[in-house]
Amino acid sequence: MNWIALKMLMGDRAKYLGIIAGITFAALLISQQAAIFCGLLLRTTSQLQDIADADIWVMDPNVEYFDELKPLKEDDLYRVQGVPGVAWAVRFYKGQGRMKLGTGQDQGTGKYQQAIVLGLDDATMVGAPREIVRGSLADLRKPDAVMMDVNGYEYLWPGEPLEVGRVFEMNDHRAVIVGICKSSRTFQTFPILYTRYHQAIQFVPQERKIMSFVLVHPQDDVPAQEVCERIHTMTGLRAITRQQFADQTIGYYLRRTGIPVNFGITVALGFIVGCAIAGQTFYTFILENLNQFGSLKAMGVSNTRILGMVLLQGLVVGFIGFCLGVGLTMLFGVLTKNTEVSFFMPWQVLVLTAVAVAVIVLLSSLISVRKVLVLEPAVVFR
């Protein structure tokens, strides 16, 4: 009977391909939009993931996510360093500055650009980029030195070769690009500037409190979570692991922005369109094969067996459509790998797409098979 069901399914090539096309489109739209959504959320934590030297981030208790800055006092660094279980703790600055591209090689351009400024501990350089394509990390110890990410450089000077030595101004201070590095793309398109901590605070307007975070590495024999609890108890500051901070940042964007709603609408539309196309085509296919189903019922085939045949047909087209849709999504991800498109496809996206396709197939099959279940076998003899 299964062989007969497959022969009936593939007998009408146009409708067979139509059902597969509908499910493929639904799987493509659902998986692609879900992957872009995950990619956007991942970008909100890209700088956290890049700074892998420190396992613990210490911050003001009111900080909700990575881009919300509530500066700490310099004394807080020494208080954290005195907590038992802390192997080392260093200061870290994160902020935004305004670049004035009108000095040195860029004299006369008069262009301004916002930039993300990361101030690394002067002695240890904790948080420095891991892949440097021009210059070296030691060059950051030079006066007025900054290191810029490749994406930011190409954004400011498109089509020009990567080269060091460019000069610009920040907060009426001279800055020189001594290195170019690779970093993960951020949620914003601003260039990323790495520099020494005491150099960074010269590039931004002065405030009473400057230090953004304290980066901590626990001793090898002390769990990170235990050190976090000790820091909070002894200093009153909030201390969480890097992964907890990343999860907290993603949670903030899920709660406080319209990203989930907008992408959720697109995913829902993909599901509805898939149901409509697959259901209508499947229903038409069943109507055109009523005589064949009637013949089977006249030969004694039960309704349960008929239902199994229809579900098998739905399973086949659902599996093929799922594979084609997800395959096209992965191809899209490969083609857009080095572009501004954010794309990240974890296994949860595959599961979501598979469940959505299964529901589409199940609904389409159940709606279509109702006509067969109430069919009188005698209809084949009319």
Summarised one tens digit per residue, pLDDT across range 77-111 is 999 999 999 999 999 999 888 998 864 444 445 68
Conformation bin of residue 88: beta by default, left when phi > 0, alpha when psi is -120 to 50: beta
| Same domain assignment for residues 274 and 180 | no
Single pTM value for the model: 0.78
| Same domain assignment for residues 216 and 263 | no
CB atoms under 10 Å from CB of 79, counted, come to 18
Q: Which of 186, 204, 236 is the last residue of a domain?
A: 236
Give domain status of residue 250, yes or no. no
Instruction: Say what angle helices 13-43 and 347-373 make with each other, to 10 degrees.
Output: 150
| Same domain assignment for residues 344 and 377 | yes
CA-based nearest residue to 20, from 353, 277, 228: 277
pLDDT digits (tens, 9 = 90+) for 303-314: 677 777 778 878
Give domain status of residue 60, yes or no. no
Tell me, what's the pLDDT at 108?
A: 42
Give domain status of residue 370, yes or no. yes
| Same domain assignment for residues 303 and 191 | no
Domain count for the chain, please give it: 2
- pLDDT above 70 covers a percentage of the chain that reads 88
Mean residue pLDDT of the chain comes to 84
Name the more confident of 119 and 15.
119
Give domain status of residue 242, yes or no. no
| Same domain assignment for residues 83 and 34 | no
Residue 179: is its pLDDT beyond 50? yes
Give domain status of residue 269, yes or no. yes
Q: Which of 185, 202, 236 is the last residue of a domain?
A: 236
Give domain status of residue 196, yes or no. yes
Range 187-214 average pLDDT: 87
Range 193-202 average pLDDT: 92
With 0-12 / 13-18 / 19 or more C-beta atoms within 10 angstroms meaning exposed / middle / buried, residue 302 is: exposed
Q: Who's near 138: CB < 8 A, 6+ residues apart?
A: none
pLDDT digits (tens, 9 = 90+) for 353-380: 899 888 888 887 777 777 666 666 655 5
| Same domain assignment for residues 107 and 147 | yes
Give domain status of residue 9, yes or no. yes
Residue 260: is its pLDDT beyond 60? yes
| Same domain assignment for residues 213 and 321 | no
Residue 47: is its pLDDT beyond 80? yes
In the chain the first and final C-alpha atoms are separated, in Å, by: 24
Using CA atoms, how far apart are residues 308 and 182, in angstroms rounded to an integer?
Answer: 55
Tell me, what's the pLDDT at 245?
A: 92
| Same domain assignment for residues 231 and 305 | no
Q: Which of 164-168, 237-241, 300-304 has the lowest mean pLDDT?
A: 300-304
Q: Are 66 and 264 in contact (CB under 8 A)?
A: no
Q: Are 68 and 249 in contact (CB under 8 A)?
A: no
Residue 143: is its pLDDT beyond 70? yes
Residue 140: is its pLDDT beyond 90? yes
Range 317-330 average pLDDT: 91
Domain that holds residue 152: 73-236
| Same domain assignment for residues 203 and 165 | yes
| Same domain assignment for residues 280 and 375 | yes
Tell me, what's the pLDDT at 378?
A: 56
Give domain status of residue 218, yes or no. yes
Using CA atoms, how far apart are residues 248 and 252, in angstroms rounded to an integer?
Answer: 6
| Same domain assignment for residues 90 and 226 | yes
| Same domain assignment for residues 263 and 231 | no
Residue 301: is its pLDDT beyond 90? no
